[in-house]
Amino acid sequence: MMMMNQRAEFSMLLALVVLSAICEVGLCRYGIVTIKRLGGGADFQGPRNSPEIETLARFAVDEHNKKDNGLLVFGRVLKVKEQVVSGKLYHLTLEAIDAGKKKIYEAKVWVKPWMNFKQLQEFKHASDNAPFTSANLAVMRDGLGWQEVPTQDPEVREAADHAVKAISRISNSIYPYQLLEVLRAKAEVLKDLVKYNLFLKLKRDIYEEKFEVEVQKTLNGKFVLKLMKHSTPDM
């Protein structure tokens, strides 16, 4: 009887191990293995144009070309995030040339350095994403001057929140400003930063006020308020 119980416990343990392993693997467009995500991605701490990151981006383009018989030519890396998995999963936003035109792509590359393992998990055109996101702003707008962007975009909202906090500090009032609405948003991409020109409707105590602000976002992700004035937008 004891022997049967031990065998049953062993069988259950083996089943759990197998089930756990199945949860870690599956099917992937670019290979037979995909990975279970263990945590959210974070901004890559090193330079995005480092040899390491550029090698991964070129690898992603090459693997995509092999799989889809494509002719994309790697251009540059625009944004990098890394995610800790069994190894690391790199989320790359990159520029590549397709038939003479610059386009933006997003790729995910899984790396296990100790096994000399590298696999492309995903590669897609940035416009395949349903909503507009400012992660791709730098490529889509590069060199085109000020461009209208959605007021509900996450980075626009983050820039607006920074501006409101800065205005509250500058006003030195006992009543802090509150953001009611982003009335209009524009963005301009330069070599080392992104500039946001925003018309904001704010509230302080019982009063509503409108401000025009310019907020800059540097390469390291820091927001800086550069311009602030009362203004009524030309609607």
- Tokens coding 78: 């625009």
- CB-based contact 172:159 (threshold 8 Å): no
Task: Give SS3 for 195.
Answer: strand
| Res. 125: pLDDT tops 60 | yes
76: phi then psi, degrees, rounded to nearest 5: -160, 165
| Res. 69: pLDDT tops 70 | yes
Q: Is 40 exposed, middle or buried (0-12, 13-18, 19+ CB in 10 A)?
A: exposed
Span 25-48, average pLDDT: 49
CA–CA gap between residue 93 and residue 78 (Å, rounded):
5
Of 162, 165, 203, 197, nearest to 181 (Cα)? 203
pLDDT, one tens digit per residue, over 144-163 is 677 888 887 778 888 999 99
Length reported for the chain: 235
Query: Tell me, what's the pLDDT at 143?
Result: 52
Query: Tell me, what's the pLDDT at 218?
Result: 84
Report the run of H or E that residue 201 belongs to, with start and end.
strand 193-204
Task: Give SS3 for 136.
Answer: helix
Query: Tell me, what's the pLDDT at 74?
Result: 94
Determine the Cα angle at 35 with ends 73 and 85, to 5°: 95
